[in-house]
Amino acid sequence: MATIDIHSHTTVDHHDEHNHGHAHHGNFFTNYIFSEDHKVIAKQFLITGMAWALIGGCMSVIFRLQLGFPDSNLSWLKPILGGWLTPEGKIDPEFYLALVTMHGTIMVFFVLTAGLSGTFSNFLIPLQVGARDMASGFMNMLSYWFFFLSSSIMFTSIFISTGPAAGGWVIYPPLSALPQAISGSGLGMTLWLVSMALFIVSSLLGSINYITTVINMRTVGMSFTKLPLTIWAFFLTAIIGILSFPVLFAAALLLIFDRSFGTSFYLSDIYIGGEALPNEGGSPILFQHLFWFLGHPEVYIVLLPALGITSEIISTNSRKPIFGYKAMVGSMLFIAILSFVVWAHHMFVTGMNPFLGSIFTLLTLIIAVPSAVKIFNYVTTLWKGNIHFTPAMLFSIGLVSFFLTGGITGIFLGNSALDIQLHDTYFIVAHFHLVMGSASFFGMVAGIYHWFPKMFGRMMNAKLGYIHFWFTFVGVYMVFFPMHYIGIAGFPRRYYSWTNFETFSGFADMNFMISVAAIVTLAAQFIFLFNFIYSIFRGRLASANPWNSNTLEWTTPRHPQHGNWPGEIPTVYRWPYDYSKPGAKDDFIPQHIPYSETPESNLPHENEEIKLEGMGAAIVVEENKH
Amino acid sequence: MNMIIGLGVVLVVGILFMIFRIGNLLEVIKGKKEESDNWNNVNAALFLVFMVGGLGLFFWYSFSHWGSYEPPVASIHGKVTDDLFWLTMWVTVIAFTVIFIAMFWFTYAYRYNKDRKADFFADNHYLEITWTVIPAIVLALLIFKGLRVWTDITGPASKEAVVIEVIGQQFAWTARYPGVKDKELGQHNYRLIDASNEFGLDLRDKNSYDDFKSLTLHIPKGKEVLLKIRAKDVIHSVFLPHFRLKMDAVPGVETHFKFTATKSTQDMRDETGNPNFNYEMACTEVCGKGHFSMRFPVVVDEPDDYDKWMTAQDSWLNQNPDYLKYVPDNLKEAAMIKAGLPLTSISIETTQSVTLK
């Protein structure tokens, strides 16, 4: 079935090539709403993702108000929060949990999965591999609209009277299965599950498309070894997504059965609300295994695209080839594989077999090696570069810095013996917010700054970008770095307040400082928002290749139309990182420049390839005859 | 009042916008190139300032304030865990500092300069092998040490270990002690739970008669303790920060954790100089509205005090004599003796039941 689809679309593409003179005119609906053009779909994902990021960010500030200013009166938030404020002007403890839950769900899935992969995989894969569009434009459109539907349902759940899901973004049953345990496990949880099921459909439709496009629709000469690292990252991310999201779907489905149809997959021996439930024989731990089988790869689904984007941006703006291209691909591949066998490190203290804990410790710490290699390669790429600090570059350096700071604490947490103390404290909050939250968020922002000219044909204001960066970069460190300390002090996460405990009653000043930093950081995002919207309409006009970059997307016109290239799709002759090549007259040589045109800078083995260049074209003609 | 604040905000935003517009216009007039070079230098310098300032703050704060963050350790395995923690800390802090300095130094030193060209340095196998192998070796050492500690901590408890059951429910902890007479916990079944029988004690099991309930977790100093952990409703998690101990309480699954406390509450009061110091147990798995209030007081006694405390406790059955009716007839007398109920009063009941039969 699948192959038939691909073939039919390939034919369409060839058809396009013959009719490249005609622009694709459609009406408003087919162009901007139910569009099948990957660039428009990417923008749809981007705008939706940004809206979600704003909602998720505001939620975090609301619960930071509770943690940093526990005695303040929040009545002024009454117009927004309504009944979720107690009469004394405090946040309701249950709503606090709902906020934490929704913040996690929104940020992990709706912003950093859909917003990041959805935007940049869609936008960049066809442009960077040299394709006119995705393998299936229709599926791509469906992917966005499933995401939109899923978003709408999740958004609706925020406003229902029993509140949205409140059992943590990991929705561990029995808490998430029993409405009598917490009111968010009523309708809110049902909507959460339905929304996530649709989200998974969207994600799978997208991933299948990304994989198919990367495998089948690369332009002539674009071998896998010439793929930009962005594409490698998106490709591996899509594979991880396809293998892991269905498991979450299964987990969610069984939870739906437990909640609505009286099964006992996750429930056993429960006495709640004055009655013993009939469920017996299930295991809540089973859910955790299923959840983290997605949940851990999900970390890399979020992180790898950001790392791919960063590789491209750092290389371009250092005017230097990325150091160790093969090692970068290799480590991503290794990370992708290992990401499936480390899930139980989230479960060291669930009472699972200690021997299993040993195995997962071993595998988890192995994954630190390719991660370290990536950091070293980034740093070496900066070494002896000629660095342009564009806003995108600043955010990319910020990403590497977060990846280092947050990643290194993983060495503590991955070691099961140390995890006993640190598990579910603020140490872990600091760890994952830096290494996957902030790092991926910075990757996304860097990507927006870098590809904005190609998306909208205009430049974003650089100075506002600098201000945005410095406030955000320092702000994020001020928010999350101190959390290591209070984590070591044992402060448990998801606590509404700590004053019930003598052990945790100190450090109110630290929590105050963190909250202030969080507010400043959120405020700085409005600079970005302004810059983004303003620049779409009034930004300086962009040139076709404003960053002097090598990859194929910069060979398209300022406003690429549906089909991307007005003429033939360029043929690729070299890898994407020929920056500052000795002998070359410019400090960059784009991928579509044949070696025969650059005899002055060719390396010995590249001169050999000149002979093949003509033959390559001949092979293409052969292929087209089929 | 709100109007004034609103107007103020609008004004500030308006002024910022004007500054932005004027800045844009000036940029167009002055020409672009030179200024962007200046900004490049500014950003590079800021990275350097960030690196020096950030590391300075990190080291200064850590050294001057560390003592207030690390909870004093009070268990044997906790000491070992802390050693591993510090080993990992040194390894990571050294690696972090070196990479952090290198990264931001390169960022500063190799900022754009129009007279220079970047080095075409795309590959070096020796370098790559080096920085793959070195982290691999260091991590292998940490894993090796970590797994030894882990195996010790999670290994089976000794036969003599003091067994205490901890039960989590929304939103409180209770502890059940096996009683001084048989030193064995009785069977339980969640279907037997009701308002009084909160453990779900199965009174057909003779080990349950002297079990008693406590709303404070008493632990003998210097003896191995095996915590048996369960939950009634949703997942909770036992967290004893001073003992470096954490284990989930899962409904339907019995989990356990063994440890030996090394400092009594009084020892800790002397050590910390805080006469009001108390050990505490917290819940670390989100369990609902009252998650943050699941505090369970913990007392570590000298062994003699612990024994005294144990003997002074009334058994659960003693406190709830109504439940004698669930005890099988042939065990009633044993139950009463074990529970510490006065035989006389109950023996009348027994005879009554016998006559009734």
Tell me, yes or no, if B290 comes closer than 8 A to chain A by beta carbon.
Answer: yes
Residue A412 and residue B92: Cβ atoms within 8 Å? Answer: yes
In a domain, B64, yes or no: yes
| A502 & A412 share domain | yes
Same domain membership, residue A407 and residue A556: no
Residue ending a domain, choose from A504, A538, A572: A538
Whole-number pLDDT of residue B35? 64
Domain annotation covers residue A281 = no
Q: Within a domain: residue B23?
A: no
User: Does residue A303 sit within a domain?
Assistant: yes
- Determine whether the interchain pair B107/A382 forms a contact, defined as Cβ–Cβ distance below 8 Å: yes
- Quick one: B106 and B205 in the same domain? no
Domain-embedded: residue B269: yes
Suggest the residue from B9, B250, B279 to mutate for an interface test with chain A (most A CBs closer than 10 A): B250
Of A326, A373, A494, the CB nearest to B291: A494
**A582 and A493 inside one domain:** no
Strand partners, B240: B245
Is residue B46 less than 8 Å (CB to CB) from chain A?
yes
Q: Do B285 and A172 touch (CB under 8 A)?
A: yes
Tell me if A353 is assigned to some domain. Answer: yes
Instruction: Tell me, yes or no, whether A130 and A176 share the same domain.
Output: yes
Q: Does A520 touch chain B (CB under 8 A)?
A: no
Q: Is B226 helix (H, G, I), strand (E, B) or coil?
A: strand
Whether residues A577 and B122 touch (CB distance < 8 A) is answered with yes
pTM: 0.92
Residue at a domain's end among A508, A538, A568: A538
Query: What was the pLDDT predicted at B10?
Result: 86
Kindly state whether residue A546 falls inside one of the protein's structural domains. Answer: no
Determine, yes or no, domain membership for A26. Answer: yes
Chain position carrying tokens 């030179």: B34
Q: Do B284 and A350 touch (CB under 8 A)?
A: no
The answer to whether the Cβ–Cβ distance between B106 and A379 falls below 8 Å is: yes
Interchain contact, B252 vs A269, CB within 8 Å: yes
Q: Which of B16, B22, B86, B119 to mutate to test the interface with A (most CBs of A within 10 A)?
A: B119
| B307 and B248 both lie in a single domain | yes
Q: Residue A454 is inside which H or E element, if any?
A: helix A439-456
Give the pLDDT confidence score for residue A77 in this predicted structure.
87
Give the residue from A78, A384, A578 with the most B CB atoms within 10 Å of its CB, the best one to mutate: A384
Could you tell me which residues are beta bridge partners of residue B174?
Answer: B167
Q: Residues near A479 by Cβ (< 8 Å), separated by ≥ 6?
A: A433, A514, A517, A518, A521
**Which residue in chain B is spatially nearest to A168 when comparing CA positions?**
B286
pLDDT band, residue B298 (cuts 50/70/90): very high
A457 touches A523 (CB < 8 A): no
Question: Domain boundary residue among A538, A573, A608?
Answer: A538
pLDDT of residue A11: 38
pLDDT tens for residues B143-182? Answer: 999 999 999 999 999 999 999 999 999 999 999 999 888 8
What residues contact A12, with CB distance under 8 A and at least 6 apart?
none
Contacts of B85 in chain A (CB under 8 A): 412, 418, 421
Q: Chain B partners of A289 at a C-beta cutoff of 8 Å?
A: none
Residues B168, B63 share a domain: no
> Which band of pLDDT confidence, cut at 50, 70 and 90, is reported for residue B34?
low
Check whether residue B207 and residue B334 sit in a common domain.
yes
CB contact under 8 A, A373 and B131: yes
pLDDT at position B31 = 63
Question: H or E segment at A275?
Answer: strand A275-276
Instruction: Please give, rounded to a whole number of angstroms, the shortest distance from the CA of B353 to a CA of chain A.
Output: 30
Interchain CB contact of B112 with A (< 8 Å):
yes
B172 and B149 within one domain: no
Query: A623 at the B interface (CB within 8 A)?
Result: no
Taking contacts as CB-CB distances below 8 angstroms, the residues of chain B near A462 are 36, 39
Chain B contact present for A424, CB below 8 A? yes
User: Nearest C-alpha of chain A: how many angstroms from B245?
Assistant: 6
Higher pLDDT, B289 or B3: B289
- Whether A274 is in a domain gets the answer no
Over residues B95-153, the pLDDT tens digits come to 999 999 999 999 999 999 888 888 898 889 999 999 999 999 999 999 999 999 999 99
Asked if the Cβ–Cβ distance from B280 to A93 is below 8 Å, we say no
Q: Which segments of chain B are extended strands (E)?
A: 162-169, 172-177, 212-214, 217-220, 224-231, 236-240, 245-249, 255-260, 279-283, 296-301
pLDDT of residue A5: 38
Q: Does B171 lie at the interface with A, CB-CB under 8 angstroms?
A: no
Which class for A359: exposed (0-12), middle (13-18), buried (19 or more C-beta within 10 A)?
Answer: middle
Any B CB within 8 A of A408 CB:
yes
Q: Are residues A336 and A439 in the same domain?
A: yes
Q: Are residues A450 and A584 in the same domain?
A: no
Q: Do A42 and A74 belong together in one domain?
A: yes
Look at residue A78 in the predicted model and tell me its pLDDT: 87
For residue B13, pLDDT over 90 is answered with no
Same domain, residue pair A450 and A564:
no
| CATH code of the domain containing A439 | 1.20.210.10
Same domain, A82 and A146: yes
Q: Kindly state whether residue B17 falls inside one of the protein's structural domains.
A: no
List the single residue in A270, A373, A463 with the smallest CB-CB distance to B251: A270
Domain that holds residue B273: 162-356
Would residue B206 count as lying in a domain? yes
Q: Where are the beta strands (DSSP E) in A128-243?
A: none
CA distance A539 to chain B (A): 10
CATH number, domain of B231, equals 2.60.40.420
Residues A45 and A176 occupy one common structural domain: yes
**From the list A349, A416, A503, which residue is nearest B146 (CB)?**
A416
Percent of chain B with pLDDT over 90: 69
Tell me, yes or no, whether A391 lies in a domain: yes
B181 shares a domain with B101: no
pLDDT at B345: 54
Q: Are residues B176 and B260 in the same domain?
A: yes
Q: Do B103 and A394 touch (CB under 8 A)?
A: no
Q: Which residues of B touch A372 (CB under 8 A)?
A: 131-132, 135
| B230 and B149 part of one domain | no
B150 and B269 together in one domain: no
Chain A residues within 8 A of B272 when measuring between CB atoms? none
Portion 116-155 of B in contact with A at CB < 8 A: 116-124, 127-128, 131-132, 135-136, 139, 142-143, 146-147, 149-151, 153-155
Asked if A493 and A557 sit in the same domain, the reply is: no
Total domains present in chain A: 2
B68 touching chain A per CB within 8 A:
yes
Mean pLDDT (10-residue bins), chain A, 626 residues: 37 42 63 88 96 96 93 87 88 94 96 94 95 93 96 95 93 94 94 96 96 95 94 96 95 94 94 92 94 93 96 95 94 94 94 92 92 94 94 97 95 94 95 95 97 95 94 96 94 93 90 96 95 93 92 92 90 93 90 90 85 62 48
CB-nearest to A418 from B46, B84, B239 is B84
Residue A494 lies in a domain: yes
CA gap A411, A418 in Å, rounded: 9
pLDDT of residue B9: 84
In Å, how far is A514's CA from the nearest CA of chain B?
15
- How high is the pLDDT of residue A25? 64
Q: Is B110 within 8 Å of A382 when comparing Cβ atoms?
A: yes
Q: Is A561 exposed, middle or buried (0-12, 13-18, 19+ CB in 10 A)?
A: middle
> Are B169 and B265 in the same domain?
yes
Note down the domain range covering A163: 2-268+287-538
- The Cα–Cα gap between B206 and A540 comes to 85
CA B15 remoteness from chain centre: 49
User: Alpha carbon A350 to chain centroid distance?
Assistant: 28
Per the CB < 8 Å rule, is A97 touching B289? yes
Upper half-sphere CA count for residue A470 (Cβ side, 13 Å): 17
The answer to whether the Cβ–Cβ distance between B128 and A327 falls below 8 Å is yes
Asked if residue B225 belongs to a domain, the reply is yes
List the alpha helices (DSSP H) in A550-600.
Answer: none
Structure tokens at A405: 């700071």
- Chain B within 8 Å of A93 (Cβ-Cβ)? yes
Residues 115-174 of chain A whose Cβ lies under 8 A from any Cβ of chain B:
167-168, 172, 174
> Which residues of chain B make contact with A496, given a CB cutoff of 8 A?
291-292
Do A531 and A557 have their domain in common? Answer: no
B86 found inside a domain = yes
- Asked if B314 and B237 sit in the same domain, the reply is yes
What is the domain count for chain B? 2
Please give the DSSP secondary-structure letter assigned to residue B330.
Answer: G
Residue of B133, B192, B291, B299 for testing the chain A interface, max A β-carbons within 10 Å: B291
Say yes or no for a CB contact (<8 Å) between A415 and B143.
yes
Residues 591-620 of A with CB under 8 A from B: none
What was the pLDDT predicted at B32?
A: 60
Residue B27 lies in a domain: no
Q: Is the same domain home to B93 and B199?
A: no
- A588 to A457, A580, B120, B121: CA distances (angstroms): 22, 6, 11, 14
- Inter-residue contact B230 to B167 (CB < 8 Å): yes
What's the rounded Cα separation, in Å, for the pair A472 and B56?
Answer: 20
